[in-house]
Structures are given as C-alpha cells and as structure tokens.
Chains A and B, each alone.
Chain A
Amino acid sequence: MTDVAPIPPITGTISLTVPVERAFAVFTGSINTWWPHQFHIGHADVEEVVLEPRVGGRWYERGVDGSECDWGRVLLWEPPHRLVFTWQINGSWQFDPDPDRASEIEAVFRADGSGSIVDVEHRLFERLDGGRAINDAINGGGGWALLLDSFATTVAHA
C-alpha cells in the first residue's frame, strides 16, 4: 500500500492521583490551559487552543487576531476512557484536509487504584506529506533554525 517506511510513534505515560473522569475532563476540556501556547502553526500568537468535544469536532488554534488554523479532527470520543484525534499539519506546516494523510493521537485513560494512568501515542507519521518546506528549510536554513530554537526551549523547560 505504502512505500514509506514506518516512523516510530511518540509515546508518553502519565500517572495521576486523580480519577479517570477528572483526567479525561482536564485533557479535553482544559487543553487550552495545558497545551504550551508557544507551539503553534498560525502566524499570529495563540489566543486559544480548542478541541471540540465530539466525533468530527475540530482541533484548532485561534490567534489573537481572530484567525483560525486547523490542526486536526476528533475521530473517537469515548469519555472518560478513550480519545482519538488527528494531527494533519504536514511538513509544509500546512493543514492537509485529506484524512488519508493524517497522523493520529490516541489517549487512553485507565483507573489505577484511586488514581489513573494516561497513555498517549502520536502515530502514523509516515502518512504525513513531508512537503517541500522541509527540503527548502534544510537548503535555506531558516526553518531549521526555528525548529532548533523550539527544541532549545523544550529542553530548557523539561
């Protein structure tokens, strides 16, 4: 079907002292609070990050200038245990509306005593279109500098 080699998923596991209901509620309802606003795609600074709470819901950023930039869609909405949504920003840093070229994020919430465990997996990167921008960025330098700056910020705060 595809001649692109699989790219390893990004995975994370978080142990919480709060029950799954709260974990799910915070993950979905407060994504605007926990998603670091410096990570965004649009040109304007982020005013709000929105995840619409239903299958087919949009995941998008709204800039301080009112502009909206789509990131993905909700594929599965099973509170408080499971959520699957897509990341459809490609290598050109553009939203790609084709669902066949969407990477997926699955968050699974399970009880652990009186607390909970959340497993997050961002997968299917090989579906994304690498695009010209990465190529241009490598040859031009600008995009890489930006990417590395993002990394520096991340590592410093880790």
Chain B
Amino acid sequence: MATYGDAQLGLLGDPSRRAIFELLARRPCSVQELADALPISRPAVSQHLRVLRDGGLVVSEADGTRRIHRLDPAGVGALRAWLDGVWSDALTSFHKLAETPPDVPDDPTEGTS
C-alpha cells in the first residue's frame, strides 16, 4: 500500500488532537479546560497542543497566569490541514490506478476472490 506521510496525517488524524481542535473551534481554552473536557491528562493535552501549534493550526497567548489557546485565525493552517486529507486520499487513489493494468477488459475473466 501507499506509505503516505504518516507524520503529517497525525495532525488531525489523531482522535485526541481532533477533539482538541474541535473544542478550540468552539471557543478559546486553557490547558486545564481542555483536560477537564477530555479523557486525557494535562501533559498529554500540552503535547497535542504543541503539535497543533507546530502545524500552524493553533496559537497561544498569555492571559494573566495562564495561557489561552485558540485556532489561528490568520494562518493557512486550516487550508494545509484540509489539503493534508486531500493528498492522503488522492495519493492512495493514484497508487491504485497506477497499479491497475492499462488494458483491463470490460468483462473480466477472473473472479475477485
């Protein structure tokens, strides 16, 4: 099968990161608020936030003693995340098509199983 870039797929392919992303799409949150809403620890939330920040999806800012995290409204991270999914599908599809013999008869003589 195609070995499409796993590291990039992980950006929103990971269920916890996707959940964090969806919570932040509703409103900006602190790490504690995210940890309270999800079945994962505070350090795990922080780690996922770092990945989302590196991927250009999330920005963080200080608010008194805590940090508030929000989706980056100015960035193209969302576009990149969308394209990440597009390429994953597209390259899988390309792989299948390229491996298909060019002269497949309309009436195949072999069964599929």
Contacts and interface: CB of A to CB of B under 8 A. Distances in A.
A12 B2 contact: yes
Contact of B82 (A36, A126, A150): A150
A134 B76 contact: yes
B5 A155 contact: no
Contacts of A8: 8, 54-56
A11 B7 CA distance: 9
Contacts of B68: none
Contacts of A141: 25
A8 B102 CA distance: 36
A28 to B, nearest CB: 11
Contacts of B97: 26, 30, 33-34
Contacts, number: 140
A23 interface: yes
A122 B85 CA distance: 12
B90 to A, nearest CB: 5
Interface string B69-113: 001011111111111111111111111111100100000000000
A90 B80 CA distance: 10
B9 interface: yes
17 contacts: A7-B76, A10-B80, A11-B5, A12-B2, A13-B5, A14-B2, A14-B3, A14-B91, A14-B98, A34-B94, A35-B90, A91-B76, A130-B74, A134-B73, A143-B78, A158-B13, A158-B89
Interface of B: 2-5, 8-9, 12-13, 18, 22, 25, 54-56, 71, 73-99, 102
